[in-house]
Amino acid sequence: NAGVTQTPKFQVLKTGQSMTLQCAQDMNHEYMSWYRQDPGMGLRLIHYSVGAGITDQGEVPNGYNVSRSTTEDFPLRLLSAAPSQTSVYFCASSYGSLRWGEQFFGPGTRLTVL
């Protein structure tokens, strides 16, 4: 198993540009989520999905879109990048239900918005 993979590892954007952060898992996990991590702020939940076709907002969803067309993939779209979105982004997945808390995290995408 590759586990949770994220691409790209690093990205530099200019203000106003859009891009998609990719996340994939090969463990047939129901639950997937996106977090961002900023210095001194801990990890904050952006969006999550409890299964294909089902997504919902976390605590900091503004400026981001997600979709879940397959069980394996959960891309995060930045619509119009802003410097405040400079962060490290982590994708996570788990079996859901009673094993929800045993989450597998990807290696992260380090995004800089100029």
- Residues near other proteins (CB under 8 A): 4, 31, 33, 42-43, 45, 48, 50, 56, 58-59, 90, 92, 96-98, 100-108
Nearest distance, CB of residue 24 and other proteins, angstroms: 14
Q: Give the C-alpha separation, 104 to 63, whole Å.
A: 25
Instruction: Give which of 89, 109, 102, 101 is closest to 45, Cα–Cα.
Output: 89
In angstroms, give the least distance from the CB of 17 to other proteins: 25
Q: Which of 75/107 has CB closer to other proteins?
A: 107
Q: Whole-number minimum distance, CB 82 to other proteins, in Å?
A: 23
